[in-house]
Amino acid sequence: MRKPSNPCTLQIPKLPPCREAYSRREAASWVKGGVLMIKFPGDRSFREVARFTQDCGSICTHAAQYCLEMGGSHVSAPHMRLLQDCADICEATSKLLLRSSPQITQMMSVCASLCEQCAASCDKLTGDTQMRTCADECRRCAAACRQI
C-alpha cells in the first residue's frame, strides 16, 4: 500500500471477494446517500431506529433539566428517575443498534418498556408542553423499538 498524499486520507486495501454474490441492483438497494443501510422486518433500518433512540434520550435529558428548574411536582423522585433511566437506556440502545449487537433484541424490549413508562409519567403533568413533547417522543421511540 502506498503512502497517501494527504495525511488525513486513509487508503484501505481491497478485501477478498465474499463467498455469496449479490447483484449490483440488490447491493445498491442497501446504500442510501453513501451509507450502508441494513434492513430488518417492518422496513426500518437499525440506523433509523438508532436516530429515534438518540432523539428520545436527548429530549429526556433536556426534560429532566427542565423539571429541575420547574420544581414542585416536576421533581418527584419517581418521575426524575424515569426521565434519567429512559435517557440512559435510549443512549445505550442506540449504541448497540449502531454496532449490530447480538443483544439488541433484549435491549429494544427494555427500551420500549421504559419509554412507555416515561411517557405515562410525563402525561401526569398535564398542561405542560415540554412534558407533552417528551411523552410524544417516548411513544415514537417505543413504537420504533417494537417494530424491529
Look up the CATH number of the domain holding residue 92: 1.20.1270.360
Provide the domain count of the chain. Answer: 1
Q: Structural domain of residue 69, as residue ranges?
A: 44-147
What one-character DSSP code corresponds to residue 34? Answer: T
Q: Is 29 a member of any domain?
A: no
Q: Which residues are bridge partners to 40 per DSSP?
A: 44
Mean pLDDT of 50-55: 94
Rounded Cα gap, residues 53 and 58, in angstroms: 9
Q: Is 54 a member of any domain?
A: yes
Q: Is 34 a member of any domain?
A: no
Q: Is 2 a member of any domain?
A: no
pLDDT tens for residues 58-109?
A: 999 999 999 999 999 999 999 999 999 999 999 999 999 888 888 999 999 9
